[in-house]
Amino acid sequence: MNRCGRWLIFLAVFAAPAAGLAADDYPNKPIRLAVGFAPGGSSDTSARAVARRMGDSLRTNFVVENRPGAGGNIAADTVAKAAPDGYTLFWGAVGPLAVSPAMGTKLNYDPVRDFAPIGLAVTFCNVLVATPSLPAQTVTELLALARAKPGQLNYASPGSGSAGHLGGELLKKLARIDLVHVPYKGGGEMITNLIGGEVQLAFVTVTTIKSFGGSRIKAIAVTGLKRDPTLPNVPSFAEAGVPGYDATFWYGLVAPARMPPPLVARLNRELRAALADAEVNKPLDAQGLVAAPSTPEAFSAVIRSDVEKWRGVFAGVKVSL
């Protein structure tokens, strides 16, 4: 055997153990977790709760970095370009990983090709609410009113590409009604204008309903496939007359593509353990989030499916982010 052949055998013998060591030695320094939104919201709160528990288990520090901008796309782009060594992760949301490509937004990353899904973390839904003066109490009454006044009813959301915007466009498509989208730069001004009657409808979080109650805004339906357990008297759109309506949103953990499978498996186990912790679930429950751990493969399927779903919803819709 020549020298080249002996060298190839040497590499084969020592390369296989090296793949295992990637997980055995991990981690030996802090892990950076990028969040695409500002501190204080549900994305940030859930990321910090899970990161704290995973850091304790892995015996390292998780450094949560808030990189808001472009609906989470800036943070996603940063992580997509990072080394796939397990030390840079992304608390991915449906926006940058599924909605932005579905809207045709020009991106510097591919949500399917450039990330290694680790696992789905939590799911949540929104609630369609109306100003008290709107003469509609139910989904059926709202649809009848919208069909009688095409283009005259509006709905507000915290911004183009937000969960509220998605919920509204899905309703327009499935119910075949014409509503005007009014995007805001945040939820505070939106709620103020809804209460004041400047907008008629809005998609808000479950926690917003709990904060304002039924005297200042009225809940019409939740966007999830089923009723939210914390709002048992509010029906889902699907059960109230819009078959197939499901605007369930999520956060999950991803890493740069080509991360070694042993690291993906290790982080998936740690994520699942964190989501099973009662102390982690307390802040999640307070934000209306439901723990929904999954395998990496299942999370990958969710991302791919949502890209196609929202691409169909936004086909022909002009959106500026």
pLDDT, tens digit, 9 for 90 and up, residues 47-82:
999 999 999 999 999 999 999 888 889 999 999 999
Say what percent of the chain tops pLDDT 90: 70
**Given this chain, do its domains 3-124+248-314 and 126-222 carry the same CATH topology?**
yes
pTM of the predicted model as reported, rounded to 2 decimal places: 0.84
The CATH architecture of the domain made up of 126-222 is 3-Layer(aba) Sandwich (3.40)
pLDDT at 207: 85
pLDDT at 4: 46
Identify which of 146, 162, 171 has the alpha carbon closest to the alpha carbon of residue 222. 171
pLDDT in tens, 147-170: 999 999 999 988 877 889 999 999
Q: Which CATH class is domain 3-124+248-314?
A: alpha beta
- Show me where the domains of the chain are located: 3-124+248-314, 126-222
Tell me which residues of the chain have a pLDDT lower than 70: 1-23, 213-215, 316-321
pLDDT in tens, 123-139: 999 999 999 899 999 99
pLDDT at 213: 62
pLDDT at 57: 96
